[in-house]
Structure 1
Amino acid sequence: MRNRTNHVNLIDKICGIHHNFELYIMTGLFTIIIGAIIQSSYHHYENFIGESFWTAPIVLMVVGSLIFFISFLGCCGAMRESSCLILTFSVFLMIVFVTEVGIGVAGYIKHSELKDVLEKQFNRTMEDYTTSIEAQHAWSLVQGELQCCGINGPNDWKRIYINTTVPSTCCHLLPENVKQCTSVYASQEGCYPKLLNFLDTKSLLLGFVGIGIAIVQLIGVVFACALSRAFRENYETV
């Protein structure tokens, strides 16, 4: 009778943990999707950000893929009632959690340097504007997408142009009778503050996603340890 009761309780635990593994699988997919969205949103601003800053979404997609794989491992362990597989699932999940904490700390440190990096990169690409096609493309892209002009405003282009002329991508609503884009008709907002605000928003999203994933992972470790213990107790009883 006792063995039957333990077996029923074990089945109930397996059913409960199975739903949790489904949650972890969905969490992994969600993480991959968020990383892909953010990557596609601002990877083309790498000329202003630098490679060390736009690798975060790639890392997020890798972590999501690992969570997806580890969740299947845990699910197999639950279905086979394998204490070893469940413990392996717990260890891998904890490793991913520790890795995420390290990435989060590194990301916070990098984010504090973002203002200086952006300012440096904006000035560098503007100085190279007349000689570098890559710099011209980068400025055309950021000014066209963010509807801005110059670093802090259209007057920044005076270091490149002698008169009030500015790049054509600065003028987003040029009157029909005006043929040349000048600082008078250009957007008065600078690209530096707009891009900084854009990246801050994405960084905040990354932070919330990271915290959510970490909480789910800790819950997963607790559930997995409980299930592993239930397996051992059931086998000892039998």
Structure 2
Amino acid sequence: MDHFSLVFTKQAVYIFNLLFGVTAISVLGISTIIYCDYLRFHHFIGDHSWIAPFFLMAIGGCVFLITVLCCYGTIKENAQIIQVFLVLLAWIFFFEIGTSVVIYIKRNQFIGTLDNSFDSMLNNHVKNEEAWNDIQTELKCCGINGPKDWTEKLNITIPKSCCGIQTTANCTEENAVKIGCKMHLLKYLERLCIMLAGTGFGFGWIQIVVIGYASFMFNEFRKSFGQFTQRLL
């Protein structure tokens, strides 16, 4: 191996590091967006803390830091640092896939939480008027299970946000959206879980493919550097 081969393998390692950095930033960004989406309706999810996005955000951040470590190891031509990089990345891969599996399996566990929080929000509808208007406008829904929650349970006028349009006239049961917000929000949260799990699965398998190629290139890098050093001596 000559100096050109050593330079070539180092450049290949840099390219793989770039791919890892892109996947890390993508996982971090998508997880953050999903969590911000979730926060819009946190009033109706009660005290339930959805920590799943935090796990993938942490994974994205860790992968990015490990990528920086690998770049440092490549610059310093330190095979030990590169080996540490591969071990850490393998552990993170399994953690990422495991987290994605748990998110997908437990995506239906919001039902019990939503039952309690929606009842509480409806009973305190005066204090939570803005939150009700936001969710009914955003998700195009009405009440917990439908407009009758307002007229029969509370015996009050249906909020204008149930009609989906801004009007000066009162919203009637005939004009109101017939679908309740609990079912809409449940389906919405399930979609977020599937998106989050898909993000972890998708980028996780991309990373494992890159790990395979990177392992080969790192091995070539070590051989090239060793042979190049022997020739200098």
TM bin (shorter chain): 0.7 to 0.9
Alignment-mate amino acid for residue 191 of structure 2: T
CA distance in 2 between partners of 1:79 and 1:39 (Å): 36
- TM-score, structure 1 length as denominator? 0.82
Report what 1:209 is aligned to: 199
Percentage of identical aligned residues? 30
Report what 2:73 is aligned to: 77
Contact 2:97–2:201 (CA under 8 A) maintained in structure 1: no
User: Any residues of structure 2 matched to 1:25-174 within 5 Å, and which?
Assistant: 25-50=21-46, 52=48, 54-130=50-126, 133=127, 135-162=128-155, 165-173=157-165
CA distance in 2 between partners of 1:183 and 1:174 (Å): 16
Structure 1: which 5+ runs fail to align?
A: none
The one of 194, 216, 219 aligned to 2:209: 219
Contact 2:104–2:197 (CA under 8 A) maintained in structure 1: no
Q: Deviations over 1:153-207 (max 9, x none)?
A: 10122354325x222322323655x2x2332332222112222222222222212
CA distance in 2 between partners of 1:235 and 1:14 (Å): 10
Range with greater deviation from structure 2 (64-73 or 104-113)? 104-113
Contact 1:94–1:217 (CA under 8 A) maintained in structure 2: no
Flag the structure with more relative contact order, 1 or 2, with Cα contacts below 8 A and sequence separation at least 6.
2
Structure 2: which 5+ runs fail to align?
A: none
Aligned length: 228
Contact 1:150–1:157 (CA under 8 A) maintained in structure 2: yes
Report what 1:181 is aligned to: 171
Structure 1 residues 33 and 230: CA distance shift in structure 2, 3 A: same
CA distance in 2 between partners of 1:8 and 1:112 (Å): 56
CA distance in 2 between partners of 1:137 and 1:173 (Å): 16
Structure 1 residues 61 and 161: CA distance shift in structure 2, 3 A: same
Contact 1:48–1:122 (CA under 8 A) maintained in structure 2: yes
CA distance in 2 between partners of 1:223 and 1:84 (Å): 18
CA distance in 1 between partners of 2:95 and 2:36 (Å): 24
Shift, 1:217, TM fit = 2.6
